[in-house]
C-alpha cells in the first residue's frame, strides 16, 4: 500500500504512520482519526447524479488520496467525484481541483453543505470514534453526454431511485443521503 504522491492530504491519525496510510501524525485528534473531504454532486436535467466506476490503475493516490486498497474497494461501486483535502487547501479549492483533475471540466458549484459523521472505520474496526467532515458541493451538469476522463472506467448519470444502495461505493451512499437523495 505505498502511495507514490508527494501531496499532503488532510487525513490524520493518532497511530504512527504506516506505509501508504495517514501522512500526518498528531495526538490531538479523536482516537480513530479524522478525514476532511470534498464531494461534487452534479445533477442533470432529469435529476440523475454524475457518478463513476473509478479506474484503480489511475493515480488515485494523487487525485483523491485513495491508497490502492481503498481504490480497489471503492472501484466496485458507483462513486462521486471526490477527494480528501490537501494540507492548507480550502474545501472550495478542493472542489475545483476535483472538477479539473477528475472530470477535466469547470462548472460553477454552490455550497458547501457541511456534514460531520462519527463512526468506526470498516478497514480498522479496532479504531473507534473516527470523524468524517464532508463538504458537499452541487453543480448542474452540462447538457449532453457525461464527461469522460482517464481516472474513471465509466462516468454516467445515475438514477438513484433505480439504483440499489449496495451498488454505491461505501460512504458515498451516506454522502448522497446527506445531500437529500434517497434510494
CA-to-CA dists, residue 14 to 51, 67, 114, 124, 174, angstroms: 32, 18, 24, 13, 25
Burial (Cβ within 10 Å: 0-12, 13-18, ≥19) of residue 24: middle
| pLDDT exceeds 80 at position 24 | no
Contact indicator for 45, 143 with CB cutoff of 8 Å: yes
Strands 24-25 and 34-43: unpaired
Domain membership flag for residue 88: yes
Contact indicator for 87, 9 with CB cutoff of 8 Å: yes
Give me the mean pLDDT over the 128-152 stretch. 90
pLDDT at 4: 75
Tell me the pLDDT band of 19, cut-offs 50, 70 and 90: low
Contact indicator for 156, 146 with CB cutoff of 8 Å: yes
Q: How far apart, in whole angstroms, are the C-alpha atoms of residue 119 and residue 114?
A: 17
Domain membership flag for residue 3: no
Q: 119 vs 28, which has greater pLDDT? A: 119
Domain that holds residue 58: 11-178
pLDDT at 62: 92
At 99, which CATH number? 3.90.79.10
CA-to-CA dists, residue 67 to 38, 44, 108, 121, 144, angstroms: 17, 30, 29, 15, 33
Tell me the pLDDT band of 31, cut-offs 50, 70 and 90: confident
Tell me the pLDDT band of 7, cut-offs 50, 70 and 90: confident
Nearest Cα to Cα of residue 141 among 30, 74, 37, 43: 43
Domain membership flag for residue 158: yes
Quote the number of domains for the chain: 1
Give me the mean pLDDT over the 164-181 stretch. 92
| Per-residue pLDDT tens over the stretch 89-115 | 999 999 999 999 999 998 899 999 999
Contact indicator for 178, 80 with CB cutoff of 8 Å: no
Note the pTM of the prediction, 2 decimals.
0.84
pLDDT at 70: 83
| Per-residue pLDDT tens over the stretch 66-90 | 888 888 888 899 999 999 999 889 9
Domain membership flag for residue 89: yes
| pLDDT exceeds 80 at position 58 | yes
Amino acid at each position: 500500500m505505498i502511495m507514490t504522491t508527494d501531496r499532503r492530504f488532510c487525513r490524520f491519525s493518532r497511530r504512527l504512520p504506516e506505509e501508504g496510510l495517514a501522512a500526518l501524525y498528531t495526538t490531538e485528534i479523536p482516537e480513530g482519526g479524522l478525514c476532511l473531504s470534498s464531494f461534487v454532486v452534479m445533477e442533470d436535467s432529469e435529476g440523475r447524479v454524475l457518478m463513476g466506476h473509478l479506474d484503480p490503475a489511475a493515480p488515485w493516490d494523487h487525485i483523491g488520496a485513495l491508497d490502492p486498497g481503498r481504490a480497489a474497494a471503492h472501484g466496485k461501486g458507483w462513486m462521486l467525484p471526490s477527494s480528501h483535502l490537501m494540507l492548507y487547501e480550502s474545501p472550495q479549492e478542493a472542489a475545483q481541483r476535483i472538477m479539473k483533475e477528475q472530470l477535466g471540466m469547470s462548472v460553477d458549484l454552490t455550497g458547501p453543505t457541511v456534514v460531520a459523521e462519527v463512526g468506526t472505520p470498516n478497514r480498522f474496526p479496532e479504531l473507534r470514534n473516527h470523524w468524517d467532515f464532508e463538504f458537499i458541493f452541487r453543480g448542474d451538469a452540462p447538457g449532453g453526454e457525461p464527461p469522460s476522463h482517464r481516472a474513471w472506467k465509466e462516468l454516467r448519470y445515475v438514477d438513484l431511485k433505480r439504483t440499489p444502495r449496495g451498488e454505491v461505493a461505501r460512504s458515498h451512499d451516506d454522502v448522497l443521503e446527506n445531500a437529500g437523495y434517497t434510494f
